[in-house]
Structure 1
């Protein structure tokens, strides 16, 4: 079974840091959390191609949950994160580094952490820094107030508003149409 086939989340394929945030979502049954247990962690690690590098164990889950909370605090205002958000993210980043080397095949950068259980969390936090370097204004929450998902806007005109046009975007369009029809 492919990683996508067993991943129940409504939005996948975002950059790693955003994908970690999107392990919480709301559906018709209420709030959902893919990282509520080790099988869910295994699904997430497979879906982001980290299952060969990271163990789906309690320590990895604990560090990922800490990183997810740090990222959630940081995305509240990506352009100017609070001191608390910066501190929380820096706590995650303190457990690793990029080791750069020149090999026969050219330059390489390898993530190293003080404990293997920190790797997935550190990679997600490092990815968030990469997104900030690229353009913090592209890190967005879905415009649907009932949606908790985030995305990195890669649209050409930088005007994406919804986590998905098929879900939240269509709901908004249908609501506008219904409101016009009632008037």
Structure 2
């Protein structure tokens, strides 16, 4: 997602993770929890930031499908982070989302091509996010992580060489944790 410019209206603290995790990060810490997908205009902003605005319409039916997909991916990530594997229920739900589309490959004049086909247009963004989640599993399920800061609910894909990244953003969550440890040490 590095070649996509985020929408300047996007208020999220972490933008640009792989599509599946970027979808999860449409909810972030706050009281109440912030939810970019609470309204249709937030859906349009997310599509724009994800580079999908030219492929997907920001219609209510697509928003409902995307919210459903976000819940499925969130459940899957929680199971991975907690148990290290996916249970049969979440696998069935994820496959349900994936069942709305397929990747059709063919050979054209310029060589091999791949086209996503969905049964209904409102499922395109959801299918792409679910497909991206499968790609992340292939690349290393253990690298899908939740930020280690206790007040943060964001997720990231750890691309560090040693796989030891802990924070969604070191400049924010990492520094807060360091400052808290320093404060405790100084008082002790």
Tell me which interval the TM-score lies in, with the shorter structure as reference length.
over 0.9
Give the match for residue 151 of structure 1. Answer: 156
- The CA deviation at 1:148 is 1.1
Task: Please point out which of 2, 24, 33 is paired with 2:35.
Answer: 33
Query: How far, CA to CA, are the matches of 2:170 and 2:161 in structure 1?
Result: 16
- In 1, are the aligned partners of 2:94 and 2:130 still within 8 Å (CA)? yes
Determine helix, strand or coil for the equivalent of 1:62: helix
| d(CA) in 2 for partners of 1:4, 1:152 | 21
User: Which residue matches 1:7?
Assistant: 10
Structure 2 distance, partners of 1:178, 1:4, is 37
Secondary structure in 2 aligned to 1:135? helix
Instruction: Give 2:116's match in structure 1, choosing from 98, 111, 116.
Output: 111
Counterpart of 1:87 (choices 92, 96, 99) is 92
Q: How does 1:160-175 map to 2 (within 5 A)?
A: 160-175=165-180
- 2:6–2:15: 8 Å Cα contact kept in structure 1? no
> TM (normalized to structure 1)?
0.95
Distance in 1 separating the partners of 2:14 and 2:40: 20
Residue ranges of structure 2 left out of the alignment (5+ in a row): none
RMSD in angstroms over aligned alpha carbons? 1.1
Counterpart for residue 103 of structure 2: 98
- 3-state SS of 1:8 partner: coil
SS of alignment partner, residue 138 of structure 2: helix
Report how many aligned residue pairs link the two structures: 181
| Equivalent residue for 1:66, pick from 68, 77, 91 | 68
Q: For residues 179 and 15 of structure 2, what CA distance do their matches in structure 1 show? A: 24
> Which ranges of 4 or more aligned residues in structure 1 deviate by more than 4 Å?
none
Deviations 1:23-76 (A, max 9, x none): 00013x541000001100000000001000000010100000010000011001
How far did residue 109 of structure 1 move? 1.1
Question: How many angstroms apart in 2 are the aligned matches of 1:60 and 1:113?
Answer: 12
Q: CA offset at residue 85 of structure 1?
A: 1.1
Residues 74-97 of structure 1: per-residue CA shift (max 9 Å, x gap): 001334111121111111000000
Alpha carbons 2:40, 2:63 under 8 Å: kept: yes
Deviations 1:8-31 (A, max 9, x none): 00000000000000000013x541
